[in-house]
Structure 1
Amino acid sequence: MSDKRAFRWATTSTRRLVGTLVSAAAVVGVVTAVTLPWPTFAREPLSIAAVPAPAASVVACDGGLLSVGRDVAAAASFAVAAPQDVTSGVTPGAPAPQQQALQSEGAGEGPAVYTAPPQGRTRVDVAAAGAAIVADEDLAGFAASACRPPLLESWLVGGSGETGAADLVLLSNPGAVPATVQLTVFGAEGAQTPPGGTDVVVAAGAQRVVPLAGLVLGEASPVVRVSAVGAPVHASLQTSITRTLTPGGVDQVSAIGQPETSPTITGVAVTAAPGAEGASDAATVLRLLSPSADATASIRVVPVGRADAALEPEDVALVTGQPVEVALPGLAVGTYTVQIDADAPVVAAVWQTTGFGAGDDFAWYTPSPDVSVPSLFATTSGPPPVLSLVNTSEEPVSTVVSSADGSYIVELTVPAGGSTTARLSPRTVYSLDPGEGAVRAGVSLTGDGALAGLPVWPADAAAPEILVYP
């Protein structure tokens, strides 16, 4: 090999070797760059936390008891048979709530509305409840109900479209613009929207009355869904019955906010023993509806203050959109909680009567929502009220019940999965503070020929902080 060829070979080999080493180094560098974290620079966007100004608290009442057809010249007219006596109050230290009266269709001055404006940027809670008693030839009994915030959707469980019932759907609009309401009725044939329940216009500052029989004539166990657009409405149901020309009681049934899988109905008061004169084993009836799916509901009836069930637990099959009634017979005199566990959201209410003769009364008891924040509630005139507290959690809950004026305060520990009671005074505003836990609460009113129940609703939660990005 000549010197030139040897030199060329040597230089070429060197270049190849260097190229190979450079390629290998490049590969190692790329792999290392991919696998190892690169230095980064992150900057949080500028944001400002702001709490929205609280809105005024508004509750609307049901109003006085209405009679139908007392004017023979206007058989479909309404008249106030007994005015409603209302007790109201606000968060301690705040000014008294503003009061106005809605205009009731065909009955002049209607139910009261209470408004509590915020104090600066602090929300002011308001609570109110009313009662009325009547003893006329066509209407007799005692009714009590809590005043509630208006809702865009609510459910009415109770009443009947059969002969002897004179039930009325009450729609109140405390807002400043009209509301258009759709009434969907669930019965034996499922869900339907009858002509009388389509596009019902409720004027601003007014109450509209719709006879239930005009929606579901002959339906024994109706459930009504109330859907509003334009403005939320406060819906309730006045229900009464006449048996062979003898009035058998009256009640004002509060709306249910939404279906749930585990509704709890507390404070159901049984005042007559089974088999006693004027009583019946069918004096306690549970009405259930699963509006969106077939379901199975387990029913458990437990005396307040005890752990053992009063009746054998019962499973009930529910068909979508068809209400079911379940008799709860043989309950001794006392106060009970009806617990329901279903595999689909349901609405429910318990009907209870003092008897089936002249001078008797009945009540519909609706579910009590979870109260997890300090909340106000009011008791009405009438029989002495009793507060029932139920704890569905697995830990004890320490609660404080106090009157708004500070004259009454009691600390109650509700055991895990248990319940307890407290006696209260009529016509008083109270605060229920569940501490770190949550309870369900209901007020029962029982007297001679008088029966009523009011579930305690939680106060509206304060608006959370929102982040504003400039």
Structure 2
Amino acid sequence: MSDRRVFRWATTSTRMLAGTLVSVAAVVAAVTAVTLPWPTVAEEPAALSVVPAPAASVVACDGPLLSVGRDVAQADAVSAAAAQQVTSGASEGAPPPQEQVLAPAGQETGVGPLVFTAQPTDRTRVDVAAAGSATVFAEDLAGFAASACRPPLLESWLVGGSGETGAADLVLLSNPGVVPATVQLTVFGAAGAQTPPGGTDVIVAPGTQRVIPLAGLLLGEASPVVRVSAVGAPVHASLQASITRTLTPGGVDQVGPVSEPLTTQLITGVAVTRTPGTAGASDVATLLRMLAPSADTTASVVVTPVGQDVPALEPEEVSLTAGQPIEVDLGGLPVGSYTVRVDAAEPLVAAVWQATGFGAGDDFAWYTPSPVVSVPSLFAAPGGPAPALTLVNPEEVPVDVIVSSADGSYRLEVSVPAGGSMTARLASRTVYVLDPGDGAIRAGLSLTGDGALAGMPVWPADAAAPEIVVYP
């Protein structure tokens, strides 16, 4: 081997070794760069937390009691049978709410329903509450009705009424806004959910009330439930229910909406004023109507006397088929006040029908569920019989509740035991504040008198708008 070849081999080996060392160094440097923290420059974006300006508080009333077909020349004409007397008020220190009268579409006479609006004060929301009542004694309509004025909703549920012979029930759609609302009425009955032609694309003009006969949506349906869906503007939906038995009026009621299906529905202050009849009698004074709109489920029904822990009836398990309403006989309850609780694995809606009797001069009422009240909330007691406020505590700890009149002239402090209930007597035509403190409560008003029966739940005040973060 020549010296030149040896030198060339040595030179090549040296280059290979140097290259290997450089590669190893590069790998080590890369791994070190990944694993060790590098100096960074971070700049927090400018942000500002603001509370949106509160909107006006709006509630719409049901309006006068209505009658259909009094004009023989216009069998489907609607007329006012009795004016609604309304009690209203706003938060303490705020000016009285603004009052507006809606135009009753299709009615030639009568006064339309009232709308009350409370504008914010110093960027603070002002609550408003109102409730009305009416009494009528006529050949085609008789009884006492009372209902709370409610905020308009984009979706609501009407649980009550009938499309059978003798019933003259009316779906009331009120639009207190400034733009038209397009409403779809879905009627759930024995055949499931149906969208009848009379309930498709119903236009409710701003500042008006539309009246649609329930029988015109689903004639002959004994236990309907109506879902009201609105686009364009929210509407206040309600139901006027009435019945005539062999030419004798058997009562009237204005049924408020249920805001949404829930897995628990609790109906407070159901007033039983009639001694139970003979077992197996055809006339049932207390009925529970339920609907699971979306899925089959089993509902647990528990009826408990107010102020007691032991159920008045054996708890009952009821199978529900999706989209088909069902009624459960709760007859046999002694005279008193009751809470009806319905629990299920799937969301449902429910209401209780209660009657004072089945003869001339009797009345009935639909009791709808009471939502949870966890903030101080305003409510109004309408004119009529002295109302009873039922408080039900769903919590596992006692809840200290304060009920005071908006003008400060009345104040009641009570502690509702865990899982318990109690009743307080209030004055009619008065606006009250229900304050559950740090707890949560469910509450409802019941008005009972000679041939008069009505009930309405207490709804919570709208929550204040939360803070939002703005990035300029």
Instruction: Name the TM tier (shorter chain).
Output: over 0.9
1:219 maps onto 2:231 in alignment: no
- Counterpart residue identity of residue 162, structure 1: E
| Aligned-partner SS, 2:151 | coil
Q: Could you tell me how far 1:18 is from its partner in structure 2? A: 5.9
2:52 aligned partner: 52
Stretch moving more, 379-388 or 408-417: 408-417
Aligned partners of 1:440 and 1:121: how far apart in 2? 29
- Counterpart residue identity of residue 271, structure 1: T
1:39 maps onto 2:32 in alignment: no
1:85 aligned partner: 85
| Aligned-partner SS, 1:32 | helix
1:234 maps onto 2:236 in alignment: yes
Counterpart contact for 1:154–1:225, Cα < 8 Å: yes
Deviation digits for residues 253-291 of structure 1 (CA, Å, limit 9, x no counterpart) = 0011111111111111111221289x9872110101111
Aligned partners of 1:9 and 1:290: how far apart in 2? 90
| Aligned-partner SS, 1:346 | strand
- Counterpart residue identity of residue 386, structure 2: P
Q: Which consecutive unaligned segments of at least 5 residues does structure 2 have?
A: none
| Match among 351, 375, 382 for residue 353 of structure 2 | 351
Q: Could you tell me how far 1:90 is from its partner in structure 2? A: 0.1
| Match among 390, 399, 405 for residue 388 of structure 1 | 390
> 1:9-408 alignment to 2 at 5 Å?
20=20, 22-105=22-105, 106=107, 107-275=109-277, 282-408=284-410
Counterpart contact for 1:281–1:329, Cα < 8 Å: no
Q: Could you tell me how far 1:24 is from its partner in structure 2? A: 3.9
Aligned partners of 2:461 and 2:68: how far apart in 1? 35
Deviation digits for residues 14-39 of structure 1 (CA, Å, limit 9, x no counterpart) = 76666555544443333333233333
Counterpart contact for 2:304–2:339, Cα < 8 Å: yes
Stretch moving more, 391-400 or 455-464: 391-400
Aligned partners of 2:356 and 2:344: how far apart in 1? 29
| Aligned-partner SS, 1:331 | coil
- Counterpart residue identity of residue 130, structure 1: G
Deviation digits for residues 364-383 of structure 1 (CA, Å, limit 9, x no counterpart) = 00011111111100001111
| Aligned-partner SS, 1:453 | strand
Q: Could you tell me how far 1:143 is from its partner in structure 2? A: 0.4
Counterpart contact for 1:66–1:81, Cα < 8 Å: yes
Q: Could you tell me how far 1:396 is from its partner in structure 2? A: 2.2
- Counterpart residue identity of residue 331, structure 2: P
Aligned partners of 2:43 and 2:449: how far apart in 1? 68
| Aligned-partner SS, 2:59 | strand
Deviation digits for residues 190-227 of structure 1 (CA, Å, limit 9, x no counterpart) = 11111111222212111111111111111100011111
Aligned partners of 1:208 and 1:317: how far apart in 2? 36
Counterpart contact for 2:83–2:111, Cα < 8 Å: no
Counterpart contact for 1:281–1:330, Cα < 8 Å: no
Aligned partners of 1:420 and 1:36: how far apart in 2? 67
2:455 aligned partner: 453
- Counterpart residue identity of residue 310, structure 1: A
How many aligned residue pairs are there?
A: 469
1:328–1:403 CA distance, 2 compared to 1 (3 A): same
Aligned partners of 2:76 and 2:10: how far apart in 1? 117
| Aligned-partner SS, 2:49 | strand
- Counterpart residue identity of residue 317, structure 1: S
- Counterpart residue identity of residue 284, structure 2: A
Counterpart contact for 1:123–1:462, Cα < 8 Å: yes
Stretch moving more, 173-182 or 452-461: 173-182
Aligned partners of 1:73 and 1:424: how far apart in 2? 46
Q: Which consecutive unaligned segments of at least 5 residues does structure 1 have?
A: none
Counterpart contact for 2:399–2:439, Cα < 8 Å: yes
Aligned partners of 1:189 and 1:236: how far apart in 2? 23
Counterpart contact for 2:416–2:422, Cα < 8 Å: yes
Counterpart contact for 2:182–2:201, Cα < 8 Å: yes
Q: Could you tell me how far 1:6 is from its partner in structure 2? A: 9.1
Aligned partners of 2:174 and 2:162: how far apart in 1? 21
Aligned partners of 1:360 and 1:163: how far apart in 2? 19
Q: Could you tell me how far 1:406 is from its partner in structure 2? A: 0.7
TM-score of the superposed pair, with normalisation by structure 2 = 0.94
Counterpart contact for 1:361–1:449, Cα < 8 Å: yes
Counterpart contact for 1:61–1:148, Cα < 8 Å: yes
Counterpart contact for 1:274–1:280, Cα < 8 Å: no
Aligned partners of 1:29 and 1:399: how far apart in 2? 69
Aligned partners of 1:384 and 1:157: how far apart in 2? 26
Q: Could you tell me how far 1:63 is from its partner in structure 2? A: 0.7
Counterpart contact for 1:274–1:281, Cα < 8 Å: no
Aligned partners of 1:6 and 1:111: how far apart in 2? 112
TM-score of the superposed pair, with normalisation by structure 1 = 0.95
Counterpart contact for 1:161–1:167, Cα < 8 Å: yes
Aligned partners of 2:159 and 2:362: how far apart in 1? 21
Counterpart contact for 2:302–2:315, Cα < 8 Å: yes
Aligned partners of 1:48 and 1:108: how far apart in 2? 52
Deviation digits for residues 376-425 of structure 1 (CA, Å, limit 9, x no counterpart) = 00001111111111122222222211110111111222222222221111
Aligned partners of 2:147 and 2:227: how far apart in 1? 19
Aligned partners of 2:56 and 2:244: how far apart in 1? 41
Aligned partners of 2:38 and 2:275: how far apart in 1? 80
Aligned partners of 2:391 and 2:41: how far apart in 1? 55
| Aligned-partner SS, 2:413 | strand
Superposed CA RMSD in Å reads 2.1
| Aligned-partner SS, 1:413 | strand
